[in-house]
Amino acid sequence: MRRIGILTGGGDCPGLNPAIRAVARKALIENFSVIGIKNGWKGLIKKDVMKLDLNSVSGILPRGGTILGTSRTNPFKNPGDVKKVKQNFKQLKLYCLVAIGGDDTLGVASKLFKMRLNVVGIPKTIDNDLSATDFTFGFDTAVNIATEAIDRLHTTAESHHRIMVVEVMGRHAGWIATYAGIAAGADVILIPEKPIDLNEVCEILRKRKKRGKGFSIVVVAEGAKIKEDKLVLKKEKRDAFGHVLLGGIGHVLGDRIEKMTGFETRVTVLGHIQRGGTPTAFDRVLATRYGIKAVELIKAGKFGKMVSLSGNEITSVPLAKAVGTLKTLDMRLYNIAKVFFG
Ligand code: F6P
């Protein structure tokens, strides 16, 4: 019986468990055996695995996180680790590995495919910043969590006549900020794709006050940057893939707005709440469709691909073309959001 391995790498997100379940269930139907590799690429370096059968994937559909665990391990940081990955791939008798991840995890998968290992990728991330798919799963859940949070901040902002600054995740793309901002009726949305002009922001807030709106909601993406300022970081230290840890722009912005306008301002940083908990129905369905398609590709012997959503069709693209290019916000969406500023 041919064996499929599954791993989840990078930051977790809601929808990973539905994807694992879908790959496992479809693979078992197609007469493959299935194992889970624990904690992303780290598990393949250490040969840390678990058997996946009908019972081990039962009941995980609505659960956030990943039953396999995850890590931001990059085997290409150390040539010895790549060697171990190749060795263990053979020793575990993997016919194909399904790598579920964002750009970093899929970048590793792409390199391994070039080294003649059978791999198929499934795109996930709350950031929705992968260029070769319309949506990654995890994004819809994060947007819904942020939308609900902003709705809640709205009522307290209104009662206290305050400015509420809400910092959301999304790395170097403004997808979460713009979707949640539109959905929750933000008065200003600030994104990495457009440096922040503080005078412009304060002018919008003053105008609102003048027309009798004593409160305002400002949504800021963690990767947004004030013009002429440096990017605000939580940690300078880079991870194994070279990423800095973003975070803190909300507080910097809140202070500056309060000083410039004199309006009482509070700041909320949503942080990892956006990544936790149960996936939305949309993310469960998308993750399930991706999982099924991944096994169909394996069955057809089509390796080195990433499953992808194009319109409402699940299709696939070469991994090599799917990684390395950041999908920034579609600015047509930002122009829609701008209609409601002020
Ligand atoms: O990529 C997902 C993400 O949540 C980003 O939005 C955020 O910048 C980053 O991961 C946070 O990383 P960590 O989980 O290491 O704190």
Atom 14 of ligand 1 has which residue's CA nearest to it? Answer: 11
Quote the pLDDT of residue 208: 98
Q: What is the mean pLDDT of the chain?
A: 98
pLDDT at 259: 98
* Token output for 110: 């792409």
Decide if pLDDT at 287 tops 90. Answer: yes
* Per-residue model confidence as pLDDT tens digits over 47-79: 999 999 999 999 999 999 999 999 999 999 999
DSSP structure class, residue 102: S
Nearest atom (ligand 1) to Cα of 239:
15
pTM tops 0.85: yes
pLDDT digit string, tens, across residues 226-257 = 999 999 999 988 999 999 999 999 999 999 99
Q: Which residue lies with its CA nearest to atom 15 of ligand 1?
A: 11
Q: Please, which residues have CB within 8 angstroms of residue 213's CB and are 6 or more apart in sequence? A: 187
**115: number of CA atoms within 13 Å, CB side?**
14
What the block records as the tokens of 180 is 């949640």
Confidence of residue 127 (pLDDT cuts 50, 70, 90): very high
Nearest CA to ligand 1 atom 16: 245
What is the structure's pLDDT at 31? 98
Sheet holding 265-269, edge to edge: 188-190, 216-221, 163-168, 265-269
CA distance 252 to 227: 13
Residues contacting 109, CB < 8 A, separation 6+: 97, 99, 101, 119, 121, 319
Query: Residue 48: what pLDDT?
Result: 98
State the pLDDT at residue 300. 98
The DSSP string of 133-154 is: SS--BTHHHHHHHHHHHHHHHH
Cα gap 109→75, rounded to integer Å: 10
Question: Best mutation site among 100, 105, 124, 126 for ligand 1, i.e. most ligand atoms within 8 A of its Cβ?
Answer: 126
* CB 246 less than 6 A from any atom of ligand 1: yes
**Token pair listed for 58:** 């039962």
**pLDDT tens figures, 149-192:** 999 999 999 999 999 999 999 999 999 999 999 999 999 999 99
Burial per residue of 26-51, b for 16 or more beta-carbon CB atoms within 10 angstroms, e otherwise:
bbbeeebbbbbbbbbbbbbbeeebee
Residue 246 host element (H or E): strand 245-246
3-state secondary structure of 226: strand
pLDDT at 236: 86
Q: State yes or no: is 127 an active-site residue.
A: yes
pLDDT by residue (tens digit) across 25-36?
999 999 999 999
